[in-house]
């Protein structure tokens, strides 16, 4: 098309976008309404863990200036990037946006493994970390990858309404709980790695409160079967 070519655009056509997004937003809001009640213990664990992360980051024992080439700098950056996305993951789970949640939780697991590899001086720059610290979640990690890559039709059809309404959000309570649990496990790994860089004292990584609350978090995860090897 040339500069002088004109195209008649009908402004009312854009109403499709507004109506479509409003309908999806209403569905997300309706599903999210019951999220806290459906997952009381897991939400309590999430809040406690977030408090621990905040507590650890309130004591800044970093050395300045920090060389960007060090493994510590890389780990600090991983912590920051992961923490910045916590609200997105919880929101995706709560609104039955499971494909998006799975992709981000998979990234969280890789964040934990990258930190582990950096601590052990085995993580190569530019390489995808290998799942070792969270190897008991191997089957879950595989499923998360299948969802993230859209490679298994059955999995996608199970938690979307593609053959029904088409794009409506579809609540799957079992998947919701599992994703929330995996998210918390990954955050637990990030919290512990952050505490190793910012210890409470020369003798203890965690403060008494952090230790007590993290013990409670682990108890909730164990009760939900999240800490057991996935099948």
Domain locations in the chain?
11-223
Centre a 10 Å sphere on the Cβ of residue 179 and count the other Cβ atoms it contains.
25
Confidence check: pLDDT of 88 > 70: yes
- Give dist(CA 77, CA 69) in Å, integer: 12
**pTM, entire model:** 0.89
Whole-number average pLDDT of the chain:
88
> What pLDDT score was predicted for residue 127?
66
- Give dist(CA 166, CA 23) in Å, integer: 13
List the single range of 93-107, 147-161, 210-224 with lowest mean pLDDT.
147-161
Q: How confident is the model at residue 138 (pLDDT cuts 50, 70, 90)?
A: confident
- Residue 18, classified by CB atoms within 10 Å of its CB into exposed (0-12), middle (13-18) or buried (19+), is exposed
Token representation of residue 8: 């008649």
- Give dist(CA 149, CA 216) in Å, integer: 34
SS3 152: coil
């Amino acid at each position: 098309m040339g500069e002088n070519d004109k195209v008649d655009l009908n402004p009312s056509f854009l109403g499709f976008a507004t109506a479509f997004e409003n309908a999806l937003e209403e569905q997300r809001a309706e599903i999210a309404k019951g999220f806290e009640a459906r997952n009381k213990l897991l939400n309590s664990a999430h809040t406690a863990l977030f408090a621990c992360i905040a507590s650890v980051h309130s004591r800044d024992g970093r050395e300045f200036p920090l060389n960007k080439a060090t493994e510590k700098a890389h780990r600090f950056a991983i912590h920051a990037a992961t923490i910045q996305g916590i609200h997105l993951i919880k929101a995706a789970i709560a609104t039955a946006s499971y494909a998006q949640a799975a992709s981000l939780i998979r990234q969280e697991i890789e964040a934990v493994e990258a930190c582990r590899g950096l601590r052990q001086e085995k993580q190569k720059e530019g390489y995808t970390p290998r799942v070792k610290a969270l190897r008991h979640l191997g089957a879950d990690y595989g499923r998360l990858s299948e969802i993230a890559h859209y490679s298994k039709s059955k999995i996608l059809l199970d938690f979307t309404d593609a053959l029904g309404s088409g794009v409506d959000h579809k609540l799957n309570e079992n998947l919701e709980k599992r994703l929330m649990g995996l998210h918390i496990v990954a955050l637990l790994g990030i919290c512990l790695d952050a505490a190793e860089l910012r210890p409470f004292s020369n003798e203890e990584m965690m403060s008494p409160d952090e230790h007590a609350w993290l013990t409670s978090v682990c108890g909730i995860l164990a009760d939900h079967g999240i800490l057991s090897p996935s099948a």
